[in-house]
Structure 1
Amino acid sequence: MPDKKIHTDSGIEIQTLYTAESPGAQPQTERPGQFPYTRGIQPDMYRGKLWTMRQYAGFSTAEESNKRYHYLLSQGVMGLSVAFDLPTQIGYDSDHALAEGEVGKVGVAIDSLEDMELLFKDIRLEQVSTSMTINATGFILLALYVALAKKQGADLKKITGTIQNDILKEYAARGTYIYPPKSSMRIITDIFEWCSKELPKWNTISISGYHIREAGSTAVQEIAFTLSNGKAYVQAALEKGLDINVFGKRLSFFFNAHNNLFEEVAKFRAARRMWAKMMKDLGATDEKAMMLRFHTQTGGATLTAQQPLNNISRVTIQTLAAVLGGTQSLHTNGYDEALSLPTEEAARIALRTQQIVAFESGAPDTVDPLAGSYFVESLTSEVEEKAWELVHRIDAMGGSVSAIEAGFMQDEIARSAYEYQRNIESGEKIIVGVNKFTIDKETPVPGFKIDDHIRVMQSEKLAALRAKRNNAKTEECLRNISLAAGEHKNLMPFVIDAVENYCTLGEIADELRKVFGEYR
């Protein structure tokens, strides 16, 4: 009887048996904390410090999200992770006609510094690490965060956190862009430059494979496209004259964790090795500028609306993959997220999943626990080899921006997504509870609902703000932003001045729409 062929979703054939003679199966000779960091970026990894347990949260109004943050902090969350609604992500105030039906739905609505003050009420920014999932308007949200920290009397040199700020994957996979690619890249390098001087502990970008994977890519495509995007940001910063050994230390990454435990672990190990080599080739000499530091979120696309409690098992496997792969921080999805935003109970169970892995599983007790496995070492090498092939194809096109403009990444992701769905529909790929082991009658799971009245409340707040602020001053601030954009000055000081004078997010985004135009 012929041996059955088994492949990962990336098309890597899994052998029946792995031995010391298998290609790429030889363990790495370097120790953890040493170039090229295959085995982890710290010599002691979680023995020294556990990963940061974040829970991504944000919905409705700033006041409602603030309550959820206080709840999560009380339950043992180590860092906050903010979700913003769609109008905030694409630069519209809540009272804009295009915001109708979307205010507060997939995240919190933030229109002005007043909302930011309510979002972090009774939370000292100097004492908490905050990650903000925001891209096209990332520079405005960072300005709002800085303005609030200054109001709290915080030392900006001590403020820690991350801003996603990764616009290239928006063009390739997600769609919440505003300005054309070159103008967007200019804003990103302005953030790099400003933070290197004023906010030195802040991670200025979280180069994101998460959304590339959610759009349907394979694990190999996820790291190949993400690292290529990272390379494009580094090259843009170098062209601006920035020091790779300074800004390189503040680059971070954001990856997905899916269900194939061993391929995911291999992916994380391969990504570290590849990034270290890339940064060295680009001129980095400081070890910390070559280290790939990453946040992980469990796979939203893997969650099923059918038998949703099964998702707890999926998230547990994905949590183990992230921890065994050496993540620096982690968000675990709620079991009900295929149906709605997570309820408080689902968010608590998701956090408890991390805590059980941290304190009961033994997985964090030694560095790189799967190292030396013939299977894992071989799979790491094969994932890396296939990812390099894609990176070299992108390089030959002139880099990520050119590859995106040509539609290459988008086409590759769409092809993989189609193939994955076709395999589910044919039964070749089994999804428990969806195309096998189904049940006739589902028990309803209570969902989390957002009140549509939020848009009215936000609009009333905006009207009151515009009536009481110094509108002559806000108009001056907006003019200054426009001038700075035209004269190629760093935008961050002007945007911070604007938000401190209560210019709204939509007003600032619109001012730059006049200068840069919009990407279609």
Structure 2
Amino acid sequence: MKKNEWISSVYAPAAATFPQRRYNFSTLSNIEPEPLYTADDLKDWEPDTDLGYPGEFPYTRGVQASMYRGRLWTMRMFAGFGSAEQTNERFHALLKAGQTGLSTAFDLPTLMGYDADHPFSAGEVGKCGVAVSSLADMELLFAGIDPERVTTSMTINSPANAIWAMYIANAQKQGKDLNKLGGTLQNDILKEFIAQKEFIYPPAPSVQLVIDTFEWGPKNVPKWNFISVSGYHIREAGATAVQELAFTLADGFHYVEKALERGLDIDEFAPRISFFWDVHNDFFEEIAKFRAARRIWARQMRDRYGAKNPKSLMLRTHAQTAGVSLPAQQPLNNIARVAIQGLAAVLGGTQSLHTDAYDEALALPTEAAATIALRTQQIIAYETGVAGVVDPLAGSYYVESLTNQIEAAALGYIEQIRAMGGVEAGIESGFFQAEMAEAAFRYQREVERKERIIVGVNDYVQEAVQVPIQLIDPAVEQVQFGRLAQVRRERDPERHREALALLHTAAVTGQNTMPAFLACAHAYATLGETMDVLRKVFGEYVETAVM
């Protein structure tokens, strides 16, 4: 019996007897699913070329042949709050609990390139992450943690070069071998203009700073991923899964093109490009998104950009469960949401995973909530059996069909972006903002109409549930003020002046800025001082409002 015959002769009478529920069955990207999938939905699908084997082109089934049978994904919980000492204590607690890599959240002044004692920093020091204003803070942040043994991810963008330089300078002061340092710098400035809005300089010079890390990183810190092209923030800003995939890959291709314009060897820098995805509630769509992402990246890198090294074709990724999907109402329900999202990330083939804490909507996670989130990953890894089979959903009529649909929709967006002149042109015209705003508006209307049920929010509502929350001591500001004063008082003024002058010269003449940033870090120049040098050279970006 063919699918169409079954639908007309079996499904239709059943649907007439039991009418379809008043519910929007479409995915969050508005892809309408069929009630059933069969081989009829994969008529033009070629398993050998579209699927292949794990660890082989086009990497649909994963970038490593053995996947989790050989090595589990890195359990990398995002952490950072208050002072460097407080976050260091949390780092040690997470490592003791079984976390296998560190992920650093910085506070808003640090993200915006201001020192803790700048007037704009008032009230924000240590609130949404750890305050880092100089190498002195970095030394305390990673005290007792061997950078040769523990990989570290740092969620920093506009000041990425400066913060990375501080991390490297700290390792150098300890006598560590930079060839053994491993970790990831987020360093994706394009998504800041698209979604998160924590930019400082205009797009063009901002991208130049990113490409400086592409050029300098492989030669000096070869195991470090100098960029994590980030769809996460795009999704959290209201994008659909398809938009997240398309806009993020478009950003990645933009960086590749700018690196090639500088004359860099694609097979030298491309293997250190990594990606960062959001994992939302639509289980199968999220799995299909990961699979489509790997296939698009592999084909475009080989066929469009001429990469030959297999590692240049592998889209390696970190994933994080969707903070935007975790409501403040009935927060303990979020434990179930995070478990489902974490499972989707693993079935999608992630290399690294952060699971959100249930109290994300209320405050920075408490240590207890963060531990539950980590235990969620450990249960998935050791108790479900999903790590024992590579890409267990391969060949599913629905998953393969959905992967194809998401791939086609994302490629359509990518070609549209190229036609308008590229990512920077799309930023200036407001294209990305308009697309995401429309998607967010549609989703909100569906929730308000109860076409999508959010348990505890628009249905199954109950009185507010109180849970403990993490509070940040306002005294953190005074701690930072004191440390900054000490740094300025005790550093070598001549070395400090020379380092800032070196950075200014590099920026003005178009030299690679990383050696100068490293000199600034060793001279204990503060973050604000280094960013101000570039503010004077590049200016500050003011976004064009899109209505």
**What residue in structure 2 maps to residue 389 of structure 1?**
412
Matching residue of 2:34: 15
For 1:488-503, what aligned pairs fall within 5 Å after superposition? 488-503=510-525
* Contact 2:25 2:33 survives alignment (8 Å): yes
Gaps of 5+ in 1: none
CA shift in 2, pair 1:381/1:150, >3 Å: same
Distance in structure 1 (CA, Å) of the matches to 2:128 and 2:264 = 36
Deviation string, structure 1 residues 398-449 (Cα, Å, up to 9, x no partner): 111111111111110111111111111111111000000111x223111100
**Alpha-carbon distance between aligned partners in 2 of 1:359 and 1:215, rounded to the nearest angstrom:** 33
Find 1:282's aligned residue among 305, 325, 333: 305
- Please give the residue correspondences for 1:76-225 in structure 2 after superposition, counting only pairs within 5 Å: 76-225=98-247
Q: Distance in 2 between matches of 1:465 and 1:189?
A: 30
**Secondary structure of 2:436's partner?**
helix
Is the 8 Å Cα contact of residues 42 and 397 (structure 2) preserved in structure 1? no
1:369-394, Cα deviation, whole Å (9 max, x unpaired)? 10111010101001111111111100
**For residue 206 of structure 2, what is the amino acid of its counterpart?**
S
Tell me the percent identity: 56
Q: Which runs of 5+ in 2 are unaligned?
A: 1-15, 543-547
Structure 1 stretch displaced more, 169-178 or 474-483: 474-483
Kindly indicate whether the alpha-carbon contact (under 8 Å) linking 1:208 and 1:255 is maintained by their aligned counterparts in 2.
Answer: yes
Q: CA deviation at 1:24?
A: 6.5
1:325 corresponds in structure 2 to 348
Question: Equivalents in 1 of 2:520, 2:187: separation in Å?
Answer: 20
1:371 matched residue in structure 2: 394
Give the corresponding residue for 2:435.
412
Deviations 1:74-96 (A, max 9, x none): 00000000000000011000000
Q: Secondary structure in 1 aligned to 2:40?
A: coil
* Aligned equivalents of 1:67, 1:116: Cα separation in 2: 14
Residue of structure 2 equivalent to 1:244: 266
- Quote how far apart the aligned CAs of 1:278 are: 1.4
Q: What is the CA deviation profile of residues 233-288 of structure 1, one whole-angstrom value per residue up to 9, with x for unaligned ones?
A: 00000000001011000000000001111000000000000011111111101111
Q: CA deviation at 1:27?
A: 6.6
Q: Which residues of 2 match residues 251-400 of structure 1 at below 5 A?
A: 251-280=273-302, 281-400=304-423
Aligned length: 519
Aligned partners of 1:437 and 1:154: how far apart in 2?
Answer: 55
Residue 431 of structure 1 is matched in structure 2 by 454
CA contact (8 A) 2:63 2:315 kept: yes
- Aligned with residue 466 of structure 1, among 472, 485, 488: 488
Helix, strand or coil: the match of 1:126?
Answer: coil
Determine the C-alpha separation between the residues in 2 that align with 1:95 and 1:28: 59
The letter of the residue matching 1:45 is: M
Structure 2 letter corresponding to 1:206: S
CA distance in 2, matches of 1:43, 1:454: 47
**SS in structure 2 of the partner of residue 235 of structure 1:** helix
Question: Aligned partners of 2:207 and 2:464: how far apart in 1?
Answer: 47
Q: Is the 8 A contact 1:167 1:177 kept in 2?
A: yes
Give me the whole-angstrom Cα distance separating, in 2, the residues matched to 1:405 and 1:379: 32
1:477 aligned to 484, 495, 499, which one?
499
Distance 2:119 2:493 in 1: 22
Shifted more, 470-479 versus 91-100: the winner is 470-479
Contact 1:272–1:292 (CA under 8 A) maintained in structure 2: yes
Give the whole-Å Cα distance in 1 for the aligned partners of 2:290 and 2:358: 24
CA shift for structure 1 position 461 = 1.1
Give the whole-Å Cα distance in 2 for the aligned partners of 1:457 and 1:54. Answer: 28
Higher mean C-alpha deviation, range 26-35 or range 193-202: 26-35
Q: Secondary structure at the match of 1:81?
A: strand
Q: Which has the larger radius of gyration?
A: 2
Q: Distance in 1 between matches of 2:60 and 2:240?
A: 20
